Structure 1
Amino acid sequence: MAAKSFDIVVIGAGPGGYVAAIRASQLGLNVAIVEREHMGGICLNWGCIPTKAMLRSSEIFHLMQRAKEFGLKADGIGYDLDEVVKRSRKVAKQLNSGVGHLMKKNKITVVMGDATIPAKGKVSVKTDKGTEELGAKNIILATGARARELPGLEADGDRVWTYKAALTPKHMPRKLLVIGSGAIGIEFASFYNTLGADTTVVEVMDRILPVEDAEISAFAKKSFEKQGMKILQKAMVKQLDRARDKVTAHIEIGGKVEKQEFDTVISAVGIVGNVEGLGLEELGVKIDRTHVVTDEFCRTGVEGVYAIGDIAGAPWLAHKASHEGVMVAELIAGKNKVHPSKPESIAGCTYCYPQVASVGYTEAKAKELGYDVKVGRFPFIGNGKAIALGEAEGLVKTVFDAKTGELLGAHMIGAEVTELIQGYVVGRQLETTEEDLMETIFPHPTLSEMMHESVLDAYDRVINF
C-alpha cells in the first residue's frame, strides 16, 4: 500500500504540535498529526491545566478558612482529595476532547501511535492496527519532554512521585519533601501545603524560584515560610532510603548531611527532551543534552525538519511552543513575515500562592548586560482593590533602561499577577517607553493600577505610596 502523502506531518499533539497543525491547515496545507498518548499532550493532560484545576481547589479551601475575615460563616470546613483530583481530571478530559474536535474541524488527519523517521520525507507510525507509512514534505518535531530523574532519586509512584503521581495521589502526604523549587516543584508544594501537608522544599541553588528576580524570590520565600513551609536553599538530596511507609532523605546542607523522614517525596528537578527512538541522529539532526538544536526559526539544519516547544529547549513553556508552531507553519507556507520568539519577551507564570509572574530581564541581568537601570516598585498594600480582595501581600517591580526609557523587565508576586503580566508583555512587544506607560490611564479600582504606580515609582512620581 502506497504511503499517504502530506505537506506537513507533525509528531506530537501538545500545545506546540496541535497549534502548528491548525495554523498549517488554515494556510491550505495538507496536514497529519501523530500522537502516541493524549491529544493536547502533557500540558492539557498532565501539566498546565490539571495542576491549575487542583490549585484552584486549594485556593478556595484557603479562602474558606478565612471566611471570618470577610464577615462570613463557614463551619466544618474540609476537603475530599479524591473529588479534588476527579475535578482536575474532568477538566483535562474536557480540553483533551476539545483538541480532538479542533482536528476534525480543521480537516487534519490524526494518527495515534509511535512515530519514527526512517528517512527524509518519511514518517512511520506503529499503531495498534499495524504500521502506517506517511509521506511528508515537511516534518515538525513537537514531542515535548518528560520529568528528569536523578540516579537514586527515581520515582516509584508509591512514596516518590513525579508530576503524574502528584496529580493522581494514592494518599494525602502528611510530611512532604519537594526536591526542586522551579515552577512545578513550587506549585505542588503550594497545593499540598495549603491542604495541610507539613512541607519541606529543597533547592540546590542559593534561592528558590531561581529564574525569577532576586527580590521576588526573597518575597516568595518569606511568604511560603509564613504559611508553614520549610525552605532549604543551597541544599541537595544525596540519597533516598525507601521503606514501606516512609522515605529517609539524606540532605546535604552547609557541608553536612542530615537525615530527615518523610512519607512522600515529589521530585521536580527539571525535564529532558523526548528525542529517543525517532531516528533523529541517523537523519543528521543535532541533539545537545536531550534537546534538538535549532536556529531562531526552529530549523534543525536538516532540510524540511523543524523542532518546536520543549524538545527545542528553554524556556519550557506551552505558550512558547504554540508561538513556534504558528511561526513554523507560516514559514513552510511561504509567508514572508514570520516572527521568531525572543525568550526575554516570553512571560513566565507560577500559580503558587501567592502567584509569581515575570517578563524580560531581572534587575541583576539588566545590569550584567551593561544597562544603566531605573527600578520602580509598588506594594499590594498600597492598592485599594488588593485590600478589598483581602490580598494585600505582594509586589510589582519594573526595570527600565535609564537612557532610553525601554521597559527591560517586569516582575510580580501576589494575587492574579499571572493575568496582570500580559499588560507588560504587550508593552514590550509594542516597544513602549516609560512615558507611554505613565500617560496610559489605568481603570480604578483594579490591581492593574499597581503596574502604573510601579512605573511612576521608577521615575520618582509614585502617587499612592
Structure 2
Amino acid sequence: MVVGDLAHERDLIIIGGGPGGYHAAIRAAQLGQSVTLIEKGEIGGVCLNKGCIPSKVLTHGAAKYESLKEMNELGIEAGSVKFNMDKLQAYKNKTINQLRDGVLSLCKANKVEIIHGSAFFLSEDRIGVENGDQYDIYRFNYAIIATGSSPKPPEGIQIDHERVLNSWSITNLEIVPEKLFVYGHDYIALEIAMAFNAIGSEVVLINEHDDFMLDSSINRELIRILKKKHIQVLKNNFISEAYTKDEQVSIYIKNKTGTEEITGSHLFVSGRQIPNTDQLGINRLGIETAKNGFIVVNHECRTSKNHIFAIGDVTEGPCLAVKAIKQGKTAAEAIAGIRTEADLRFLPIIAHTSPPIAYVGLTEEEAIRQRHSVDTAHFPLSANGYAAILGKKEGMIKVIFDKDHHLLLGMHIIGYGAVELISSGVFSLEMAARDEDLLFPLYPHPSLNEGLLEAVEAIKNQAIHLPPNLMKKIKV
C-alpha cells in the first residue's frame, strides 16, 4: 500500500456518485464550490446501474409487449411475436452506458473532480480513500455522505442471484421465469410481478400484510386488476425458508392455518433496505444515527456535525431517488449559504406497473386518523374519452379533501398516465390548493387530465361524465 505523505486539501467532498451525490456535486459547482466526488463503483450509483433504470427498462419492455395485444383493434396486424430477453438485456446495457456517459460529461463540464475508491472518515476533517494499492488522505471543509443503501433479505432466505433474486439481480435474468414467486408489498414487488406476468411468467405475489400499502380504494382496484391478469395474491403469508434444488426453488409459507411448501422456478424478494454506513467510520465522529442505523439530518440535511451532510437512502425516510435528488441540491445550497430546506411532506410515490400507480399526500384512512373532516370522490378512467381512444380504461383518479376548509389532502391515481398526472397533485398540495383552485383552470381536451378535473367536480356533484347515482362518495 502506498500512503501519501500529506493530506490533499479539498473544499467539498461528496462520498457516493448516485443520483443524490452527482446532483449535489453539480449544484454545488453551479454555486461556485470546488467539488470532489468519490465513487467506489460506477457513477450513477445503484439507481442508474442496478435499480431504477434497469427496472424501468424491464417494465417499459413488458408494457410494449403487452400493448401488442391491443394493436389488432387499431388495424395494426402483425404475425407471431415473442419476447427476447437477450435483446432486452442489450438494450438495458446500452441505455445504462449512455446515461452514465451523460452524467460523466456533465460532471466534467462543471469541473467536478471524480476520484474512484472507497472513502472513510479518519477525523472530522479528514477522509481516507483506498483504491487498490493506492491510499490518499484528503482534508475537507465540508462533506456530503451519499452512500445509499443495500437490500437485506428476511431471515431464512439466502439470495443467490440465480434462482433467488433481489432488486439488484432480478433485472439481469436472461430467461423468462416459468413460475415466479414475488415476496413483498411495496411498489418494487408490484412492478416486478406485473412486468413478468406480461412477458409470460406465472406469477404468485406473496404479501405479509392483509393489503398493499395504498389507499383503500386504490387497493381494491389493484386487487381487481391483479385478478384479471391471473396474478395469484397470497395475503397474510410469511416465507420462513427458501432453498433451491436443481432448477427449482422451494419455499415454506406460514399463515394462520399452518405451513405449506410451494415450488416454482424463481423467487424475487423485495426486502428492507439497510444504510451503507458500516465502512464509513462515522461512529468515531459521533454522528447521530437512528436505531435502524440511518443517519439523522435536519431540514438542511446537516448531520449532528454541522459541516457534514447526509442525503438519500443513507438518511431516514423512504429510499427513493426523488428524495436523494432534492436533498442533494438542498445540501449544496446550504453549504453555499443559501436559505433552503428539503421538505418531504409531499413526496410523490410511483409504481411503473400495468397500469401505473402514483400518489401523494394523505390516504383517506390517514386523513381520518388525523381528525380531518374528510370528503372524497373518484373518477373512473373508463368514463374518460381519451382513455377510451387509447384503450387504457383501467383505473381511476381519487381526490381527498378537508370538507370544512375545502383543502386538498391527497391524490391517488391508478391508470395510464398516473406518473405524469401526479405532478398536478404535488403542485396543488404545495400551494395549499382548495377545490376551487382545481376547478377554475382549463384542461386540454381530449386528455387524461380531464379525469382529474372530473374527480374534483364529483366532490361538488358537477362531474359531467358520471351519472348522478355514481357522482359522489363513489366506492370501488
TM-score (norm 1): 0.97
CA contact (8 A) 1:13 1:39 kept: yes
SS for the counterpart of 2:157 is: coil
Measured against aligned partners, the alpha-carbon deviations of 1:184-243 in whole angstroms (never above 9, x if no partner) come to: 1111111111111110011111112x1x21211221121012111111111111111321
Paired position in structure 1 for 2:396: 395
Structure 2: how far apart are the matches of 1:125 and 1:74?
A: 56
CA contact (8 A) 2:66 2:198 kept: yes
Distance 1:256 1:69, change over 3 A: farther
Q: What's the CA shift for 1:72? A: 2.0
5+ long unaligned stretches in structure 1? none
Paired position in structure 1 for 2:168: 164
SS for the counterpart of 1:399 is: strand
Structure 1: how far apart are the matches of 2:341 and 2:280?
A: 28
**1:143-154 map, 5 Å:** 143-154=147-158
Measured against aligned partners, the alpha-carbon deviations of 1:10-31 in whole angstroms (never above 9, x if no partner) come to: 1111111110111111111111
Matched, 1:122 2:126: yes
Q: What's the CA shift for 1:182? A: 0.7
Number of residue-to-residue matches in the alignment = 461
Counterpart of 2:217 (choices 215, 231, 239) is: 215
Matched, 1:141 2:145: yes
Paired position in structure 2 for 1:8: 12
Q: What's the CA shift for 1:433? A: 1.3
5+ long unaligned stretches in structure 2? 467-476
**1:41-80 map, 5 Å:** 41-80=45-84
Counterpart of 2:27 (choices 13, 18, 23) is: 23
Paired position in structure 2 for 1:426: 427
Measured against aligned partners, the alpha-carbon deviations of 1:316-374 in whole angstroms (never above 9, x if no partner) come to: 21111111111111111111x313222x3110110011100000000100110111111
Paired position in structure 2 for 1:267: 269
**1:24-423 map, 5 Å:** 24-128=28-132, 130-208=134-212, 210=213, 212-288=214-290, 289-335=292-338, 337-342=339-344, 344-423=345-424
SS for the counterpart of 1:7 is: strand
Which letter maps to 2:65? F
Which letter maps to 2:22? Y
Greater shift, 124-133 or 179-188, is seen at: 124-133
CA contact (8 A) 2:128 2:136 kept: yes
SS for the counterpart of 2:401 is: strand
Measured against aligned partners, the alpha-carbon deviations of 1:59-88 in whole angstroms (never above 9, x if no partner) come to: 111111222222221111111111112111
Q: What's the CA shift for 1:129? A: 5.0
Which letter maps to 1:62? E
Q: What's the CA shift for 1:411? A: 0.2
Which letter maps to 1:88? K
Structure 1: how far apart are the matches of 2:229 and 2:145?
A: 42
Greater shift, 422-431 or 380-389, is seen at: 422-431
Measured against aligned partners, the alpha-carbon deviations of 1:132-170 in whole angstroms (never above 9, x if no partner) come to: 221111111111111112222121012101122211114
Structure 1: how far apart are the matches of 2:133 and 2:434?
A: 58
Greater shift, 412-421 or 147-156, is seen at: 147-156
SS for the counterpart of 2:168 is: helix
Which letter maps to 1:327? T
Which letter maps to 1:175? K
CA contact (8 A) 1:320 1:341 kept: no
Structure 2: how far apart are the matches of 1:296 and 1:61?
A: 43
Q: What's the CA shift for 1:172? A: 2.1
CA contact (8 A) 2:155 2:240 kept: no
SS for the counterpart of 2:49 is: helix
CA contact (8 A) 1:324 1:340 kept: yes
Structure 2: how far apart are the matches of 1:214 and 1:272?
A: 29
Measured against aligned partners, the alpha-carbon deviations of 1:39-69 in whole angstroms (never above 9, x if no partner) come to: 1111111111121112111111111122222
* Cα RMSD for the two superposed structures: 1.2
Structure 2: how far apart are the matches of 1:14 and 1:256?
A: 43
Structure 1: how far apart are the matches of 2:58 and 2:89?
A: 7
Structure 1 residue runs of 4 or more that deviate by more than 4 Å after TM superposition: none
Which letter maps to 1:380? L
CA contact (8 A) 1:14 1:40 kept: yes
Measured against aligned partners, the alpha-carbon deviations of 1:413-456 in whole angstroms (never above 9, x if no partner) come to: 01020111001111112222111111011110000111111111
SS for the counterpart of 1:143 is: coil
Which letter maps to 2:87? E
SS for the counterpart of 1:163 is: coil
TM-score (norm 2): 0.95
CA contact (8 A) 2:86 2:174 kept: no
CA contact (8 A) 2:157 2:243 kept: no
